[in-house]
Structure 1
Amino acid sequence: MGARVEVMVVEDDETVLGVVSDYLGGRGYAVTALRDGLVARDALRTARPDVLVLDRMLPGVSGDELCRQVRATAPRTPIIMLTALDTVEQRIDGLEHGADDYVAKPFALRELQLRIDALVRRSRAVHVSPAPFSLGPFRVDAAHRRIWADGAEMTLTAREYELFLFLLQNPDRTLTRDDILHGVWGWSFGEVSTVTVHVRRLREKIEPEPRYPRYLLTEWGRGYRFTVGAAA
């Protein structure tokens, strides 16, 4: 994968933290292992890991709150949430706080590694970027991963940027959630609620009125369609 991957793991269960750290460290990752949310918050003022792995239940500062804070200061840092909360609604709640992905406990170490690798590959990928282009009120400079709306640069997480770019490159096309999972996350299968949450978050940033979207439309029973045509 090229340069050594730096992973910060914040988990208050000493056994889980040790097992994950030993597993990743044994496979060449540079691992910073922390057990307290406050300590992690202080460390993240200067550290910029390639991937941040957060338990949701942490002492000091919860994983949810820490995720929100990181999103405010380093919006493109890839974040994976570890959660023992196993209902779809509880997992969606974790994504709503800004995580890019989640892994439910108990989990296979290999699965966690694969999800870390997928996030790093996409954040480090070198693409032949298309020339800057505009679509409706949106202007895109893919070479520098920047998007403007009505002349104002948007603040997007890494995953929100990738999702929005994918939609902008596929205008007026109905995309299923599986299409989006494959095109944006690189997964051939996965939890489609991940797409639902990220679409909701993106709407909050691109829509004048997110409850009544004019650009990112739901095609009921089919998926989503991005358009810059007349409001539906």
Structure 2
Amino acid sequence: MDRVRVLVVDDDPPIADLVATVARYEGWEAVTAHSGEEALRRAAAFRPDIVVLDLMLPDVDGFGVLDGLRSSGRMVPVVFLTARDGVADRVAGLTRGGDDYLVKPFAVEELMARLRTVLRRSAGPDFRRSVLRVGDLSLDEDTREVRRGEHLLALTPTEYEVLRYLMRRSPTVLTKAQILDHVWEYGFGGRANVVELVVSRLRRKLDATGAPLIRTVRGFGYVIRQAAE
């Protein structure tokens, strides 16, 4: 399957950029638009697989964008992401052809989970789950199950997020600062030792059922790669 293409429509550029960045971490292609007219132009050129759509736009509102997409014959799934939390808005969004409706403020993980669900539903049984693989290690982003071969691994939420980030970026070497910023954001004030502790615990769990996968690049950071033959 080709990479998923997502169009993010929001008149607040930081929100649009945040959603697009998270989508790119998923391995998707993402473009943004900040008005209704721009959204329709981008949709015609980009041909997205799914649209994240705000209702409150400076020209054509989100309902108008949805109507424009549908009148042009585009049955691309649409997930509304908006601050309008009234029941009437939710009902209108879904009855006029939207596929889901999420209210701001929102959690990006919930948004991505909803997007994956809508894509599976719209694409049918052939849509692939989001499964990351490095050698015989697999991480299912939908079920959060991690397996080494046939062995199901029990990871803490933090161990899971560190492993997920390493697998997403493999075979790129990641610095401790990058891992801190991605997993902990600003909560640990640059204390790299917490990364060392989590990676150490991960290694013990991964290496118990196979050859080492997480490598230390001295003076730089960590990388996860398939074990050498």
Relative to the length of structure 1, the TM-score reads 0.51
Partner of 1:83: 82
Question: 1:64 and 1:126 mapped to 2: Cα distance?
Answer: 29
CA contact (8 A) 2:53 2:80 kept: yes
1:1-232 aligned at under 5 Å gives the runs 2-126=1-125
Counterpart of 2:2, as a letter, is A
* 1:84-129 CA distance string (max 9 Å, x none): 11122221122233211111111110111011111211232347xx
Kept in 2: contact 1:10–1:33 (CA 8 A): yes
Shift in Å, 1:28: 0.8
Secondary structure of the equivalent of 1:45? helix
Match for 2:104: what amino acid?
K
Shift of 1:34: 1.1
The Cα of 1:75 is off from its aligned counterpart by: 4.5
Number of equivalent positions: 126
Equivalent position amino acid for 1:120 in 2: L
Q: CA deviation at 1:40?
A: 1.3
Instruction: Name the % identity.
Output: 37
Kindly state the Cα deviation for residue 26 of structure 1 after the two structures are TM-superposed.
1.6
Structure 2, unmatched stretches of 5+, are 127-229
Give CA-to-partner distance per residue, 1:152-188, whole Å, 9 cap, x none. Answer: xxxxxxxxxxxxxxxxxxxxxxxxxxxxxxxxxxxxx
Q: Bigger shift: 29-38 or 81-90?
A: 81-90
CA contact (8 A) 1:83 1:91 kept: no
Shift of 1:3: 2.6
**1:56-87 CA distance string (max 9 Å, x none):** 01122111101011111234210111121112
Can you give the 5+ residue segments of structure 1 that lack an aligned partner in the other structure? 128-232
CA distance in structure 1 between the partners assigned to 2:59 and 2:97 by the alignment:
19
